[in-house]
Amino acid sequence: MDKALLIQLLGSAVAVSLLVAIAAWARIPRPTPPLDADGARALLAVEFPDDPVDALWIAADGAGVVARSGDRALVVWRKGDGYVARDLAWSAALAAKPDKGFLRLKTADGAPRLALNDGAWPPREFA
């Protein structure tokens, strides 16, 4: 490999590391406090504006939401300082098995790990 190119690559890698370290040091992400019912509904209204919410459950740590909308489960979970939204069949969401206080829901391209309140699934909100 060309020496100048190698130096350039190494220099770039150092610069990337430095910038990431400065970004972490600065602590200026978006504030994402644990979700409450109002926050969760507002988030669902943004992510699924055409889907009415029949029932709602918020993860124990406030970092995720599962809502029933007819025969679909609407799932929103925290990623970094933002949220990811997906849906899946309601029957599949109900059939998910809890494991050591957490529930892993398999969506088409993501599998959020949601903290359960008392280790039980489905929660009483979905009874």
Partner 1 sequence: MKTFDPVQMAIPFFVLAVILEIVLARLGKANARYEAKDTAMSLTMGLGSSIAGAILGGAIFAATVWVYQHRIFTIPMTAVWAWVILFFAEDLTYYWFHRIAHERRFWWASHVNHHTSTHYNLSTALRQTWTGGVAGTWLLWLPLSFLGFPPAMVAIQKGVSLIYQFWIHTEAIKKMPPWFEAVFNTPSHHRVHHARNARYLDANYAGILIIWDRMFGTFIAETDEEKIRYGTVKNLASFNLLTNVFHEWIGIGKDVVRHPRHALGYMFGPPGWSHDGSRDTSHTLKAKWRARLEREGEKSTASEAHAAE
Name which of 107 and 117 has its Cβ closer to partner 1.
Answer: 107
CA angle 43, 46, 51 (to 5 degrees): 100
Q: Are 50 and 74 in contact (CB under 8 A)?
A: no
Query: Of residues 58-87, which lie at the interface with partner 1 (CB under 8 A)?
Result: 79-86
Number of H helices, E strands in the chain: 3, 7
Q: Determine, following the binding rule CB under 8 A, whether residue 49 of this chain makes contact with partner 1.
A: yes
Q: Determine, following the binding rule CB under 8 A, whether residue 20 of this chain makes contact with partner 1.
A: yes
**CA separation for the pair 125, 32 (Å, rounded):** 24
Q: Are 86 and 110 in contact (CB under 8 A)?
A: yes
Provide the minimum distance between the beta carbon of 24 and partner 1 in the complex, in angstroms, as a whole number. 4
Name which of 14 and 120 has its Cβ closer to partner 1.
Answer: 14
Helix (H, G, I), strand (E, B) or coil at 24: helix
The residue from 94, 110, 119, 120 that contacts partner 1 (CB under 8 A) is 110
Site residues, partner 1 (CB under 8 A):
5, 9, 12-13, 15-16, 18-20, 22-24, 26-30, 46, 49-50, 79-86, 107, 109-112
